[in-house]
């Protein structure tokens, strides 16, 4: 089983749609969790950290289910500018980040 697994997509959605990405991780000792966004030919940028209680930042909502080792990202009211690859990232040790391969999102007019 891969350490961090994501559906590669692409997810093609129209503007204004709601889209959800899922991610599973294999290391039950993982301590912290993040979603990063990577635009084509750019570096990854932190989108949000993911907390056990769930957290929301504007149109973005992240959820963590430790029992199922599952992380989700929900994007509401999709914008064209949301088109990117979304990376699920897990910190399994003091400093070791493990990246999923990413889910590509394409938002069309």
Partner 1 sequence: SAVISQKPSRDICQRGTSLTIQCQVDSQVTMMFWYRQQPGQSLTLIATANQGSEATYESGFVIDKFPISRPNLTFSTLTVSNMSPEDSSIYLCSVAHEGNQPQHFGDGTRLSIL
Q: Please report, as ranges, the residues that interact with partner 1 according to CB under 8 A.
A: 31-32, 34, 41-46, 49, 87, 91, 93-97, 99-102
When the beta carbons of 1 and 41 are compared against partner 1, the nearer one is 41
DSSP 8-state code for residue 82: G
CB of 41 to partner 1, least distance (A): 8
Closer Cβ to partner 1, 18 or 31, answer by number: 31
Buried residues in 43-78 as b, exposed as e (16+ CB within 10 A): ebeebbebeeeeeeeeebbbbbeeeebebbbebeeb
């Amino acid at each position: 089983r891969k350490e961090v697994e994501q559906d590669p997509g692409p997810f093609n959605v129209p503007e204004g749609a709601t889209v959800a990405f899922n991610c599973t991780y294999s290391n039950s000792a993982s301590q912290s969790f993040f979603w990063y966004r990577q635009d084509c030919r750019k570096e990854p940028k932190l989108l949000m950290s993911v907390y056990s209680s769930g957290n929301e930042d504007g149109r973005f909502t992240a959820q963590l289910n430790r029992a199922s080792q599952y992380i989700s990202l929900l994007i509401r009211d999709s914008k064209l500018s949301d088109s990117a690859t979304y990376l699920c990232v897990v910190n399994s040790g003091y400093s070791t980040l493990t990246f999923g391969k990413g889910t590509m999102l394409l938002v069309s007019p």
